[in-house]
A = this chain, B = another copy of it.
């Protein structure tokens, strides 16, 4: 059931390390960050980055997380091990580097299976371009889609979820928004493919997040839900509901209605501005619980459906606002 599983970004727990670990030299270890994250009431699981957090002994890392009282919900690829990946992973102009990226992804999928968390998130942030005339777009697209198909085929029992993002690090990503990602998935044609929505990415892709979810739930599968907030210009990584409360509430209502019942993952950056990551994560869980309570309240009668059938925003917004205010004031 939606709202029983909460996951978060583990690197957030390096924030304010000097105060939290007075004796620390350098950066905290993964185990230290996991133990810190486990103090957040209500947090049930973590996503880990591959290969950064996992290395060669996936089973041991999985056991460590479970020993701290949490689950691993899945892995996420990071293409940082070879500096040449800056020029592209699946779309690298050098065939050997492209092959290295594909093979690394397959090993990541194997590691996810080994950890008992058969879900891999692919954010292909290096795949894109910066300049007019830099790339042959048709060739770039085929390189991207054929690699996605190949890694999906590698293990049909591991879910592969593509997380789109408009830009950064590249000026233009090849998979910038939900609809382009759905075209790639359609062409790749593997049944274990799906999509991850990151709320802040959707905002600065100029998407209404709930519309993106509806498209995804119609044409493919929503496999991941990354909540956070921002100002629709960049990937701000703010707390859930900090800026776009109504749009977040609408997204939650949409994904629930469309059958999503996976973990709600907080992709926020408390470490970027030195916040206490435990308090920040607890605030996110509290906010989402209030919102899910509001969604339940709205489901109780058909007032909202009626307002929507007339496309009447005056009434629809008041219903949503009252539901959230009541859930918050009493929560």
Residues on A lying within 8 angstroms of B by beta carbon are 16-18, 83-84, 86-88, 93, 129-138, 141, 166-172, 174, 176-177, 179-180, 182-183, 186, 204-208, 210-211, 214-215, 218-219, 230-234, 236, 238-239, 241-247, 249-250, 254, 272-276, 279-280, 283, 304-305, 307-314, 316-322, 324-326, 328-330
Contact = CB atoms under 8 A, between A and B. Distances in A.
A81 to B, nearest CB: 13
B254 A247 contact: no
Contacts of A325: 324-326, 328-329
Question: DSSP class of A's interface residues: helix, strand, loop or mixed?
Answer: helix
Given A131-B238, A246-B245, A316-B134, A183 B172 contact: no
A133 B208 contact: no
B242 A273 contact: no
B211 A242 contact: no
Top 10 A-B residue pairs of the complex, sorted by shortest distance between their CB atoms: A179-B179, A325-B328, A131-B313, A137-B214, A329-B329, A179-B180, A133-B316, A134-B313, A132-B246, A325-B329
Given A131-B239, A172-B211, A239-B314, 8 more contacts: A16-B83, A131-B313, A137-B211, A138-B218, A180-B215, A232-B232, A243-B244, A283-B318
